[in-house]
């Protein structure tokens, strides 16, 4: 194999981050392979792209109940091969994507979202091998395509789900969810570089996609625990949120950071949403989690997995978040057990293992 194409879709950040992880792992472990990463949605009609990108984000942030209902209703059966209308759209609606793939001329494709495999199979059948990487600890029937060359899934349970949809068991590999190779490394000087004290436990709050009002209330309550822990808040690219939260005393507030792995490594507890990539990164760093307000659908399923493994507790909403954190801070033995459980569930080399099976 000489050329590898990695295709994601910017419907939520996780699919792109998994693709980025695979691309970085390919450069690190297989430097002789010419690997390219692209967002498949960039090659779709503009209106379709905007709807696809924004509809999930809007429902997740403003009406998660609707998303959960859609996830449940559409999850009752797989898409039949005989669905001629959808197959016809796959052939006509993605002409630019198909041209891009033809220009890239890959020997194989790895997709971290189900859109690209459906398009490739509709246009090329099985002539171009395409592998699908599942990026949550559950699989929705929308991910199912009987003609892909293989699946890479996070856990055995998802493998069982796929086989019961009708996919051959021998073509499914349980590798974990691909995360960036940096999460497999330890930085000995991280705590000092992050200006964190040795004496107090560190609680990392990953803001996720919540609105400013909700976050301000949650952070104000968490700030009351500042005498018992160091509270670090990462707001991502939400600059307005960073500015507002920076006014709260007793916190270390950051915007977008490129070394989130260092923050996770030094955290005794991480407060986060239940996105498949984020929780996999936390597991790789052995970080116990408090999952807050999981969105019905894949986030709830991810949360269920973490609870079953003993690596997390759930705060059903932000109103009880500070209570959950305080409860854990008062139980260091439980935190230690959760940390051990997180490390046990971790698969920090998932990206490398996916590539090993595809490239050989």
Q: What is the pLDDT of residues 114-157, one digit of tens each?
A: 989 988 988 776 689 999 999 999 999 999 999 999 999 999 99
Q: Say whether pLDDT at 4 is over 90.
A: yes
Q: What is the pTM of this model?
A: 0.90
Beta bridge partners of 8: 39
pLDDT at position 138: 95
* Pairing between β-strand 202-206 and β-strand 34-39 as defined by DSSP bridges: unpaired
Do the domain assignments include residue 356? no
R_g (Cα) of the chain, nearest Å: 21
Q: What is the CATH number of the domain that holds 111?
A: 3.40.50
Greater pLDDT, 190 or 261: 261
Does one domain contain both 165 and 200? no
Residue 3 gets which letter from DSSP? E
Which of the four pLDDT bands, split at 50, 70 and 90, describes residue 211?
very low
Do the domain assignments include residue 252? yes
Alpha-carbon torsion 210, 279, 255, 315, what sign? positive
Q: Are 234 and 207 in contact (CB under 8 A)?
A: yes
Which of the four pLDDT bands, split at 50, 70 and 90, describes residue 212?
very low
Distance CA(105)–CA(123), nearest Å, equals 14
Q: Are 65 and 110 in contact (CB under 8 A)?
A: no
Do the domain assignments include residue 357? no
In terms of residue numbers, what domain contains 15? 3-178
Does one domain contain both 8 and 150? yes
Distance CA(88)–CA(74), nearest Å, equals 20
Q: What are the tens digits of pLDDT across the range 163-174?
A: 999 999 999 999
How many residues belong to the chain? 360
Q: Are 86 and 79 in contact (CB under 8 A)?
A: yes
Does one domain contain both 88 and 196? no
Q: What percent of the chain has pLDDT over 90?
A: 61
Do the domain assignments include residue 355? no
* Domains held by the chain: number: 2
Q: What is the CATH number of the domain that holds 293?
A: 3.40.50.2000
Q: Are 5 and 116 in contact (CB under 8 A)?
A: no
Domain boundary among 151, 178, 205: 178
Does one domain contain both 163 and 238? no
Domain boundary among 178, 210, 238: 178
For the CA atoms of 53, 54, 59, 61, the dihedral, rounded to the nearest 10 degrees, stands at: 100
Do the domain assignments include residue 353? no
Mean of per-residue pLDDT scores for the chain: 88
Which of the four pLDDT bands, split at 50, 70 and 90, describes residue 57?
low
Does one domain contain both 73 and 15? yes
Greater pLDDT, 22 or 57: 22
In sequence order, the 6+-apart residues with CB closer than 8 A to the CB of 120 are 101, 109, 111, 128, 130
- Of 190, 179, 210, 225, the C-alpha closest to 351 is 179
């Amino acid at each position: 194999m000489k050329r590898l194409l990695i295709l994601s879709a910017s419907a939520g950040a996780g699919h792109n981050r998994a693709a980025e992880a695979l691309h970085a792992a390919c450069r690190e472990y297989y430097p002789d392979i010419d690997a390219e990463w692209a967002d498949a949605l960039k090659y779709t009609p503009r209106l379709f792209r905007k709807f696809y990108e924004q509809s999930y984000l809007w429902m997740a942030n403003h009406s998660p109940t609707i998303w959960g209902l859609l996830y449940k209703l559409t999850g009752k059966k797989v898409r039949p091969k005989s669905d001629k209308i959808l197959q016809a759209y796959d052939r006509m609606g993605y002409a630019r994507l198909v041209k891009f793939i033809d220009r890239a001329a890959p020997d194989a494709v790895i997709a971290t979202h189900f859109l690209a495999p459906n398009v490739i199979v509709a246009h090329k059948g099985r002539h171009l091998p395409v592998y699908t990487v599942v990026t949550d600890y559950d699989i929705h029937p929308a991910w199912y395509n009987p003609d892909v060359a293989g699946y890479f899934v996070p856990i055995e349970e998802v493998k069982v789900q796929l086989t019961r949809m009708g996919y051959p068991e021998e073509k499914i590999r349980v590798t974990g969810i691909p995360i960036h190779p940096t999460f497999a490394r330890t930085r000995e000087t991280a705590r000092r570089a992050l200006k964190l004290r040795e004496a107090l436990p560190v609680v990392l709050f990953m803001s996720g996609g919540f609105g400013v009002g909700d976050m301000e209330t949650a952070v104000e309550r968490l700030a009351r625990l500042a005498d018992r822990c160091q509270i670090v808040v990462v707001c991502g690219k939400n600059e307005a949120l960073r500015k507002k939260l920076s006014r709260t005393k007793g916190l270390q507030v950051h915007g977008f950071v490129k070394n989130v792995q260092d923050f996770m490594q030094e955290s005794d507890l991480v407060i986060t949403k239940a996105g498949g990539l984020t929780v996999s990164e936390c597991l790789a760093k052995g970080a116990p989690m408090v999952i807050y307000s999981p969105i019905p659908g894949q986030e709830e399923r991810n949360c269920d997995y973490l609870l079953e493994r003993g690596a997390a507790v759930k705060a059903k909403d932000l109103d009880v978040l500070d209570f959950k954190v305080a409860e854990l801070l008062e139980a260091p033995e439980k935190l230690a057990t959760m940390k051990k459980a997180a490390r046990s569930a971790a698969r920090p080399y998932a990206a490398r293992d996916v590539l090993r099976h595809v490239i050989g």
